[in-house]
């Protein structure tokens, strides 16, 4: 429901609550007329819908003052409100003090515990419920099955199933659907199928069939899901959404085609926000951020109200293609919809702004958030890291520690990455050494990869290799790839050969091991060895990811590859590059041809350098935007040294800021011809 509608309901409930309604003076609280309790129940329900815990606490105080706390209906509403607002401890206090409890009381407390992730306590409370002689109903069983599904405990799930059979609820549609979901999440598809086969009303209602389609889709059995889906006499939006989700997941996990998901989506007669969001997320996952944004605009055109999940998916699409202007428009829509204060949406906004090159806007969003959780703190820390703001990242981390924020492994990955990108070697080593002793966090393979990269980039290749030898966990391909990348930067053939061998051995389908080693040989002039490595890659069928650069101009994304000839304005782009090249040469730019990794004549190397994808994107941006406009471009690979040098010259000549996001980090080139990375990346 839309926020403004809920707020209207909330206001109406408060109006009703404030009306003069008093009990008969000579009667106690237990004799209050039922209508006296209705305002309390309604306003508590409104608090639960808004997740307004503070308002709920104030209402609770008035309930105590009025002497109505012992009323069964009010008590049940208090438990429900506290559970939905995350105040499970308050809910337990109310529950424990209730003089009389019915099945609704027990259900509200059990469901609240499950919602807050306290599944074991929910199961224990169920046993107390049975010992107290209260018979469970369908709501009880659905909540317990959800608890079993959350922690994937098949043994407890089967015990609950036995009691469901004894209680006569196995044929209930909602209970049956929950049984299927529980068995699926516990990995027992056969049991889920047996539940489905025994359901007497599955064909006429389709509800349980929906659950089976959803189960197969989520388990990756897309063919089985489609068979059940095709046999359904009637399909509602749940079934359609389950199939779309299944195809998107199958596409992402097994490199399938998003066209299958799109085919199901296009056939839907009624498409809700879930269907739209799933398709948008599918485009994002397969690297089609532009299509995701186009689909979002179509969703708005058709009048479908986005949910927080929709906004998170769209913001991820903006971040994936560095569409800052588009992201700002989405931000405006979020503010108008009333979801800006949502924790998850807020964190997604921080992430979008940071990945689109505006860490300042990311910080504004962070500072405006009414409250923060670990995700929002970590997201802001990650933003500092990718922009190379090492000092700010360290200060941010210290604030987390001072404010008793629960620091986790992700926090340290972001922190060590920030030290890495800022060249803070000593600080990074100190944080790494104190992880376990001070913060109680054991280093994972991701933390070791950060440290290998940190040492390697700083030129401490031997120390980086020694660290790999003493790792407490088995080094994986990314760890060796970090060392190999450092060898490429510093031209160390000996260690590079060993690292490349490990990368190829651990991840034979990744071209990085071949390409980086070939680059090391080529930069050293060892063309035969470089050619041999490339030949091995081709013979083994390992494809190299082509370099591509994107730029957003007037809310439209333009992409370029090396020596691109397809853009409609390619003639003007080449003319602008020729003008820039002449001007750069006049003021001291010297092309670095050692990074043209082919054994060709020097003149040909100069031509190849001139038409790198990032240079094409910059030239297009210059001829397509007014003077002084900041250019923001995104490259899917590491920016090469020559393009880095050329961009510094261009930024100074045209007096513009140019922001480049490559596969590793951000580079902010200012009007003085300096880069934020200080030539360290």
DSSP result, 32-55: --HHHHHHHHHHHHHHHHHT-HHH
> Residue written as tokens 């391909």?
477
Q: Which residues of the chain carry a pLDDT beneath 70?
A: 1-39, 152, 184, 187, 189, 196, 199-257, 593-609
35 vs 22: CA distance, rounded Å: 10
Give residue 249's pLDDT.
Answer: 53
Question: What does residue 557 show for φ and ψ, rounded to 5 degrees?
Answer: -90, 135
* β-bridge mates for residue 667, sequence order: 660
Largest CA distance in the chain: 106
Contact in structure between 92 and 75 (CB atoms under 8 Å): no
Sign, CA dihedral 135-137-141-146, equals: negative
* β-bridge mates for residue 552, sequence order: 557
Rg of the chain over Cα atoms, rounded to whole angstroms, equals 30
Name the 3-class secondary structure at 560.
Answer: strand
pLDDT in tens, 375-393: 999 999 999 999 999 999 9
Q: Are strands 556-561 and 548-553 parallel, antiparallel or unpaired?
A: antiparallel
Burial class (CB in 10 A: 0-12, 13-18, 19+), 161: buried
CB within 8 Å of 572: residues ≥ 6 apart: 623
591 vs 588: CA distance, rounded Å: 10
**Which contacts of 2-9 are long-range, i.e. CB under 8 A and separated by 24 or more positions?**
2/305, 2/337, 2/338, 3/337, 3/338, 3/339, 4/338, 6/46, 6/49, 6/50, 7/50, 7/338, 9/46, 9/49
CB within 8 Å of 494: residues ≥ 6 apart: none
Element (H, E) at 553: strand 548-553
Helices (H), 305-358: 308-320, 324-337, 343-355
> Which token pair is 243?
């199939």
CA 514, 518, 524: angle at the middle one, nearest 5? 155
> Which token pair is 392?
């700010």
Please report, for residues 425, 480, 503, the alpha-carbon distance to residue 452 in angstroms, rounded to integers and kept in the order given: 11, 8, 14
Give residue 244's pLDDT.
Answer: 58
pLDDT in tens, 495-528: 999 999 999 999 988 898 999 999 899 888 888 9
Comparing CA positions, the residue from 510, 583, 590 lying closest to residue 542 is 510
Contact in structure between 382 and 353 (CB atoms under 8 Å): no
What spatial distance separates the first Cα and last Cα of the chain, rounded to whole Å?
A: 47
115 vs 475: CA distance, rounded Å: 37
Give residue 238's pLDDT.
Answer: 57
Comparing CA positions, the residue from 442, 422, 457 lying closest to residue 432 is 442
Element (H, E) at 557: strand 556-561
Contact in structure between 185 and 152 (CB atoms under 8 Å): yes
Contact in structure between 185 and 153 (CB atoms under 8 Å): no
Name the 3-class secondary structure at 374.
Answer: helix
Contact in structure between 41 and 5 (CB atoms under 8 Å): no
* β-bridge mates for residue 666, sequence order: 661
- Taking each helix axis from N to C end, the angle separating 641-654 and 613-624, rounded to the nearest 10 degrees, works out to 20
Element (H, E) at 277: helix 273-285
Contact in structure between 240 and 268 (CB atoms under 8 Å): yes
596 vs 455: CA distance, rounded Å: 27
Number of C-beta neighbours around residue 219 at 10 A: 17
Name the 3-class secondary structure at 163.
Answer: helix
CB within 8 Å of 525: residues ≥ 6 apart: none
* β-bridge mates for residue 635, sequence order: 549
> Residue written as tokens 């064909």?
203
């Amino acid at each position: 429901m839309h926020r403004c509608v809920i707020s209207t309901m909330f206001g109406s409930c408060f109006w009703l609550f404030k009306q003069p309604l008093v009990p008969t003076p000579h009667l106690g609280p237990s004799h209050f007329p039922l209508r006296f309790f209705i305002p309390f129940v309604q306003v508590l329900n409104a608090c639960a819908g808004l997740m307004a815990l503070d308002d709920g606490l104030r209402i609770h105080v008035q309930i105590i003052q009025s002497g109505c706390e012992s009323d069964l209906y009010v008590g049940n509403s208090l438990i429900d409100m506290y559970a939905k607002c995350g105040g499970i401890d308050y809910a337990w206090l109310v529950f424990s003090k209730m003089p009389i409890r019915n099945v609704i009381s027990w259900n509200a407390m059990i469901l609240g515990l499950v919602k807050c992730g306290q599944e074991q306590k929910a199961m224990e409370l169920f046993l107390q419920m049975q010992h107290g002689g209260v018979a469970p109903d369908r709501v009880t069983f659905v909540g317990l099955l959800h608890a079993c599904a959350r922690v994937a405990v098949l043994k407890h799930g089967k015990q609950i199933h036995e009691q469901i059979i004894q209680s006569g609820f196995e044929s209930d549609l909602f209970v049956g659907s929950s049984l299927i979901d529980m068995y699926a999440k516990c990995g027992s598809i056969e049991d889920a199928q047996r539940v489905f086969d025994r359901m007497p009303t599955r064909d006429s209602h389709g509800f349980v069939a929906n659950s089976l389609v959803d189960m197969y889709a989520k388990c990756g059995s897309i063919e089985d899901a489609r068979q059940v889906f095709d046999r359904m006499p009637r399909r509602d939006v749940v079934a359609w959404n389950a199939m779309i989700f299944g195809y998107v997941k199958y596409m992402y996990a097994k490199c399938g085609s998003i066209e299958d998901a799109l085919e199901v989506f296009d056939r839907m007669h009624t498409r809700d926000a879930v269907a739209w969001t799933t398709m948008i997320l599918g485009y994002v996952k397969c690297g089609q951020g532009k299509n995701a944004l186009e689909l979002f605009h179509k969703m708005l055109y058709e009048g479908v109200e986005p949910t927080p999940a929709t906004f998170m998916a769209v913001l991820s699409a903006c971040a994936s293609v560095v569409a800052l202007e588009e992201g700002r428009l989405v931000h405006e829509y979020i503010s108008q919809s009333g979801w800006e204060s949502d924790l998850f949406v807020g964190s997604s906004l921080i992430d979008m702004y940071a990945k689109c090159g505006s860490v300042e806007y990311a910080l504004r969003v962070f500072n405006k958030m009414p409250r923060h959780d670990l995700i929002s703190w970590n997201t802001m820390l990650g933003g500092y890291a990718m922009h190379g703001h090492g000092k700010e990242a360290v200060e941010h981390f210290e604030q987390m520690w001072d404010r008793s924020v629960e620091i986790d492994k992700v926090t340290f990955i972001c922190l060590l990455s920030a030290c890495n990108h800022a060249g803070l070697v000593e600080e990074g080593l100190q944080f790494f050494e104190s992880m376990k002793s001070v913060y109680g966090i054991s280093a994972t393979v991701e933390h070791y990869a950060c440290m290998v990269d940190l040492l390697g980039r700083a030129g401490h290749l031997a120390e980086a290799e020694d660290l790999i030898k003493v790792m407490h966990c088995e080094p994986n391909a990314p760890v060796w790839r970090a060392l190999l990348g450092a060898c490429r930067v510093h031209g160390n053939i000996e260690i590079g050969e060993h690292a490349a061998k490990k990368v190829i051995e651990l991840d034979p389908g990744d071209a990085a091991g071949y390409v980086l080693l070939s680059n090391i040989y080529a930069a050293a002039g060892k063309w035969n060895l470089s050619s041999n490595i490339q030949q091995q890659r081709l013979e083994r069928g390992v494809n190299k990811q082509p370099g591509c650069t994107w730029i957003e101009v007037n809310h439209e994304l333009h992409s370029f590859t090396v020596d691109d000839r397809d853009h409609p304005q390619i003639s003007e782009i080449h003319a602008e590059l020729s003008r820039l090249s002449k001007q750069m040469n006049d003021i001291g730019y010297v092309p670095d041809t050692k990074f043209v990794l082919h054994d060709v004549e020097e003149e040909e190397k100069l031509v190849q350098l001139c038409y790198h994808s990032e240079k094409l994107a910059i030239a297009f941006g210059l001829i397509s935007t007014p003077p002084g406009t900041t250019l923001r471009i995104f490259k899917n690979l590491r920016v090469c040294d020559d393009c880095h040098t050329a961009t510094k010259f261009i930024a100074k000549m045209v007096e513009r800021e140019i922001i480049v996001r490559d596969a590793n980090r951000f580079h902010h080139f200012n009007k003085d011809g300096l880069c934020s990375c200080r030539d360290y990346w």
